[in-house]
Amino acid sequence: MSSTPFVPLSATAPGELVTDSVLRLTDAALAYGSRTLWSGLDLDIAAGEFVAVLGANGSGKTSLIRVILGLQPLTAGRLEVSGRPPRRGSDDIGYVPQQRRADPLTPLRARDVVGQGLDGHRWGIGLPSKARRRRVLAALQSVGAEAYADMPIGLLSGGEQQRVRIAQALVADPPLLLCDEPLLSLDLPSQRTVTALVDRRRRERDTAVLFVTHEVNPVLPYVDRVLYLAGGRFRIGTVDEVLNSATLSELFGAPIEVVRSHGRILVAGIPEAGDHDHHDHSDDVVVV
């Protein structure tokens, strides 16, 4: 499959200014040796915008997160977060990692985990203890987790732990929230709860959201645009513009059928060839 990217459906034209842009990628490319994950990517995410990143394992979704976090340099192009180059530990970014259960023996309380989101940021070291406690409690309250603030994190359910991680990511009030597969291993009610919490935050505080996921259906009520990565190519646009049979068939170079049923999107026919692994999709998004 060609590594030449599609022209994005709704992306900002190169050089076009977006005054409230929180995240900006300009002609961005990332490659490992001879393998190009994506190239020619122009994307502006505005304050308060919710963008979902979709694609199979190996398409470069998590690598995109690493680039934005300052952990991986671009091969080409430019990236800015709040008008500045990316850097490790930036207080402009809140990060929710892939869902993973904490060890039951972990001694940290939920409030301790949230407090780690302040360490090293402008509100962290040197913040008076009372002010710090207020910030941590406010973050826990914002995600409905104040009731278990003093419980060991390892004794919480998967959904409860993910609420705490969202609070940790947001406690320093970043303008950009990165979510890397935060719905993995969660049941459907917990998936819906997590996405609703993220959506409420961005509406209340104008936080820009980049949300990497396999489970597209839980985010459908909230997402403004979709970035779909596949084999070095990509499409950007609204859900209706991207998640349809014609667009995905052109993107993959193979017949793809997209069916909408009872408010859900089901996708059939994505090829299993090449470097991609398409088996890691939840039952909420059917790929056969």
Tell whether the model's pLDDT for residue 102 goes beyond 90.
Answer: no
Q: What local confidence, expressed as pLDDT, does residue 231 receive? A: 83
Does residue 5 have a pLDDT over 50? no
pLDDT tens profile 173-227 = 999 999 999 988 888 888 888 899 999 999 999 999 999 998 889 999 999 999 9
Q: What percent of the chain has pLDDT over 90?
A: 55
Other C-beta atoms closer than 10 Å to the C-beta of 263 total 8
pLDDT at residue 3 greater than cutoff 70: no
Domains annotated on the chain, with CATH: 1-92+174-244 (3.40.50.300), 104-172 (no CATH)
Q: Which of 145-154, 197-206, 271-280 has the lowest mean pLDDT?
A: 271-280
With cut-offs at 50, 70 and 90, classify the pLDDT of residue 99. low
Confidence category of residue 16, pLDDT binned at 50, 70, 90: very low
Q: Tell me the mean pLDDT in the region 255-280.
A: 70
Read off the pLDDT of each residue in 27-41 and give the average, rounded to a whole number: 93
